[in-house]
């Protein structure tokens, strides 16, 4: 059978039936702190382990670090929907539909309306507790999310000590 014949035969076969994974939930009796991202892939807050500051989206899409809160307050929002794609996590702001990502340089922002490579996030457990958050840097590296020099922004670096925790809201 030649290439064209194989391609034609493949195109006439029926498509597979979709099978959906059943929904899971976190036990409400569990402690809400320091869950893994797999346990809290619903509405979550991403907070820093040492300070408790939360990753917040401002109205202009910029990311700041500040006090945690559940609702749209003072022009920021700390809620994130945790989604998975291509074995990476993505964090979508439920109010705007924008994903946490980077600006193509070092600063983090939440302006993209679709989940693509720059919005992919990997959560790596740290031996001292919490998680390091990493995003792809081209195709060869992963960069860490760390607190910027101003103490209020979130940036990407090759090395850093910032650790995060996932809190169910």
SS3 80: strand
What is the Cβ-side half-sphere exposure of residue 94, based on CA atoms within 13 angstroms? Answer: 15
Closest CA to 96 of 122, 117, 127, 75: 75
Averaged over 32-45, what is the pLDDT?
53
Averaged over 68-97, what is the pLDDT?
78
Is residue 125 over pLDDT 90? yes
Is residue 74 over pLDDT 60? no
User: Considering the entire predicted model, what is its pTM?
Assistant: 0.70
Q: How confident is the model at residue 69 (pLDDT cuts 50, 70, 90)?
A: low
SS3 content of the chain, % helix, strand, coil (to 5): 10, 40, 50
Reported as a single tens digit per residue, the pLDDT across 98-122 is 999 998 888 999 999 999 888 999 9
Structural domains present in the chain? 32-168 (2.80.10.50)
Reported as a single tens digit per residue, the pLDDT across 9-20 is 333 333 333 333
Closest CA to 78 of 110, 111, 125: 110
């Amino acid at each position: 059978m030649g290439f064209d014949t194989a391609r034609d035969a493949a195109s006439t076969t029926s498509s597979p039936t979709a099978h959906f994974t059943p929904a899971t939930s976190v036990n409400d009796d569990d402690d809400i702190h320091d869950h893994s991202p797999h346990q809290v892939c619903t509405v979550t807050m991403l907070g820093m382990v040492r300070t408790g500051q939360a990753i917040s989206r401002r109205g202009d899409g910029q990311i700041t670090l500040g006090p945690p809160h559940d609702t749209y307050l003072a022009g920021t929002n700390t809620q994130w929907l945790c989604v998975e794609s291509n074995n990476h996590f993505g964090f979508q702001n439920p109010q705007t539909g924008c994903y946490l990502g980077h600006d193509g340089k070092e600063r983090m922002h939440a302006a993209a309306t679709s989940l693509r490579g720059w919005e992919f996030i990997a959560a790596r457990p740290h031996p001292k507790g919490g998680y390091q958050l990493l995003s792809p840097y081209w195709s060869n590296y992963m960069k860490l999310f760390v607190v910027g020099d101003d103490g209020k922004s979130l940036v990407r670096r090759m090395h850093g000590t910032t650790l995060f925790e996932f809190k169910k809201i």
